[in-house]
Amino acid sequence: MTTGTATAEGAVRRAPGRPRDEELDGQIIAATLALIDAEEEVTVARVVARSGVSRAALYRRWPSLTTLIAAALDVGRTVPPDLPADGDLRATVFGAMFGGPGTVTAVGYSEARFRQRIRLVMSDRALQRAYWTSHVARRRVPVETALRSGMERGVLRPDLDVAACFDAVAGAAYYQVVVRGDRFEDPETQVRLRAAFDVVWRGMLA
């Protein structure tokens, strides 16, 4: 069965063929998030008890507890829109990754939820992979597509590893929050992010 993706309102985008019942999906996601936010262990029994939805209904929507938790962790996150293929590529990429609502790295999430996500995925490799495959990887697509367009336009080096470039830039942001313990929006953090981006960008230029 295919995993659905939770939206900020608790609804779930389904793959073709999956039964449509927004109310049940929302109940299950809300119950899972309540457990996560309370720092309680997420189990099928607890989700069933909190949501009032049967085990059968839960498993019809998510093939495993891992995929359900991954969907719940993604509530509040969105896939950024396609980026313009012309104009100032540097400003476009920087803005998409660090510039405000809809950015790749940090928006639509409370700090507490973000920290819970890090804690959960780092303690469960299967969940980490499920969250990456079903949710995180798709949010990279607009930026990676823009970088490939820059290579085709001759703005960026033709031999770039686009995925590695994205990792280098996004990794700087995660280091600030996860390792240094700083806030993403702090002015000092933004200065370091811009400096790190400039270093990586200079290496990417044709």
Provide block-wise average pLDDT over 10 residues at a time, the chain (206 residues). 37 44 89 92 95 94 93 86 91 85 49 84 94 92 96 97 96 91 89 95 97
Q: At which residue do the structure tokens 């686009």 appear? A: 162
pLDDT at 109 (0 to 100) = 62
Widest Cα–Cα separation across the chain? 58
pLDDT at 101 (0 to 100) = 38
Q: Model-level pTM greater than 0.85?
A: no
Q: How far is CA 198 from CA 43, 115, 168, 185, 194, in A?
A: 44, 27, 11, 18, 6
Element (H, E) at 6: strand 5-6
pLDDT at 64 (0 to 100) = 93
pLDDT at 92 (0 to 100) = 94
d(CA 135, CA 73): 9
pLDDT at 84 (0 to 100) = 92
